Structure 1
Amino acid sequence: MVVAEVPKLASAAEYFFKMGVEGKRFRPTVLLLMASALNFPIPKSASDGGTGAPSSELRTRQQTIAEITEMIHVASLLHDDVLDDAETRRGIRSLNFVMGNKLSVLAGDFLLSRACVALASLRNTEVVSLLAKVVEHLVTGETMQMTSTSEQRCSMEYYLQKTYYKTASLISNSCKAIAILTGQTAEVSMLAYDYGKNLGLAYQLIDDVLDFTGTTASLGKPSLLDIRHGIVTAPILFAMEEFPQLRSVVDRGFDDSADVDLALEYLGKSNGIQRTRELASQHAKLAAAAIVSLPENDDEDVQRSRRALVDITHRVITRNK
Structure 2
Amino acid sequence: MLFSRGLSRISRIPRNSYCCRWFLSHRSDTRPVLLPNVLSLHPSESDPQALGYREIMYLAYSNLHGLGRQIHHQSSSIVEEQLDPFSLVADELSLLANRLRAMVVAEVPKLASAAEYFFKLGVEGKRFRPTVLLLMSTALNVPIPKPLPHSVGDNLTMDLRTRQQCIAEITEMIHVASLLHDDVLDDADTRRGIGSLNFVMGNKIAVLAGDFLLSRACVALASLKNTEVVSLLAKVLEHLVTGETMQMTTTSDQRYSMEYYMQKTYYKTASLISNSCKAVALLAGQTAEVAILAYEYGKNLGLAYQLIDDVLDFTGTSASLGKGSLSDIRHGIITAPLLFAMEEFPQLRTVVERGFDNPENIDIAMDFLGKSRGIQRARELAAKHANLAAEAIDSLPENDDEDVRKSRKALVDLTQRVVTRTK
TM-score range, shorter chain: over 0.9
Q: How does 1:134-153 map to 2 (within 5 A)?
A: 134-153=236-255
- The corresponding residue for 1:204 is 306
- 5+ residue gaps, structure 2, are 1-102, 144-152
The one-letter code matched in structure 1 to 2:326 is L
Asked whether 1:26 is paired with 2:128, we answer yes
Instruction: Tell me, yes or no, if the aligned pair for 1:65 and 1:177 is still in contact at 8 Å.
Output: yes
TM-score (normalised: structure 2): 0.73
Asked whether 1:239 is paired with 2:341, we answer yes
- The corresponding residue for 1:47 is none
Asked whether 1:133 is paired with 2:235, we answer yes
- The corresponding residue for 2:317 is 215
- The corresponding residue for 1:65 is 167
Could you tell me the percent identity over the aligned residues?
81
Deviation at residue 250 of structure 1 after TM alignment? 1.7
Asked whether 1:230 is paired with 2:299, we answer no
- The corresponding residue for 2:207 is 105
SS of equivalent residue, structure 1 residue 232 = coil
Instruction: Tell me, yes or no, if the aligned pair for 2:305 and 2:382 is still in contact at 8 Å.
Output: yes
Asked whether 1:286 is paired with 2:388, we answer yes
- The corresponding residue for 1:90 is 192
Partner Cα separation in structure 2 for residue 263 and residue 288 of structure 1: 34
Residue from 399, 408, 421 that aligns with 1:297: 399
- The corresponding residue for 1:13 is 115
Deviation at residue 201 of structure 1 after TM alignment? 0.2
The one-letter code matched in structure 2 to 1:154 is Y
Deviation at residue 129 of structure 1 after TM alignment? 0.4
Q: Deviations over 1:70-93 (max 9, x none)?
A: 000000000000011101000000
Asked whether 1:39 is paired with 2:148, we answer no
Range 103-112 or range 1-10, more displaced: 1-10
Partner Cα separation in structure 2 for residue 65 and residue 288 of structure 1: 22
Deviation at residue 101 of structure 1 after TM alignment? 0.3
TM-score (normalised: structure 1): 0.95
Asked whether 1:263 is paired with 2:365, we answer yes
Give the total of aligned pairs.
Answer: 312
Partner Cα separation in structure 2 for residue 36 and residue 250 of structure 1: 46
Instruction: Tell me, yes or no, if the aligned pair for 1:40 and 1:297 is still in contact at 8 Å.
Output: no
The one-letter code matched in structure 2 to 1:216 is S
Deviation at residue 3 of structure 1 after TM alignment? 1.8
Deviation at residue 53 of structure 1 after TM alignment? 7.7
- 5+ residue gaps, structure 1, are 42-50
Question: In terms of Rg, which structure is larger?
Answer: 2
Instruction: Tell me, yes or no, if the aligned pair for 2:142 and 2:161 is still in contact at 8 Å.
Output: no
The one-letter code matched in structure 1 to 2:208 is L
The one-letter code matched in structure 2 to 1:71 is M
The one-letter code matched in structure 2 to 1:59 is R
Partner Cα separation in structure 2 for residue 255 and residue 187 of structure 1: 49
Instruction: Tell me, yes or no, if the aligned pair for 2:142 and 2:157 is still in contact at 8 Å.
Output: no
The one-letter code matched in structure 1 to 2:343 is E
Asked whether 1:272 is paired with 2:374, we answer yes
Instruction: Return the structure number with greater helix share.
Output: 1
The one-letter code matched in structure 1 to 2:372 is S
Deviation at residue 150 of structure 1 after TM alignment? 1.0
Deviation at residue 187 of structure 1 after TM alignment? 0.5
Deviation at residue 52 of structure 1 after TM alignment? 10
Q: Which runs of 4+ in 1 moved over 3 A?
A: none
Asked whether 1:318 is paired with 2:420, we answer yes
Instruction: Tell me, yes or no, if the aligned pair for 1:230 and 1:255 is still in contact at 8 Å.
Output: no
What CA RMSD, in Å, does the superposition of the two structures yield over aligned residues?
A: 1.3
Partner Cα separation in structure 1 for residue 166 and residue 136 of structure 2: 13
Q: Deviations over 1:230-270 (max 9, x none)?
A: 00000000000000101111222323222111111100000
Instruction: Tell me, yes or no, if the aligned pair for 2:115 and 2:209 is still in contact at 8 Å.
Output: yes
Partner Cα separation in structure 1 for residue 181 and residue 125 of structure 2: 17
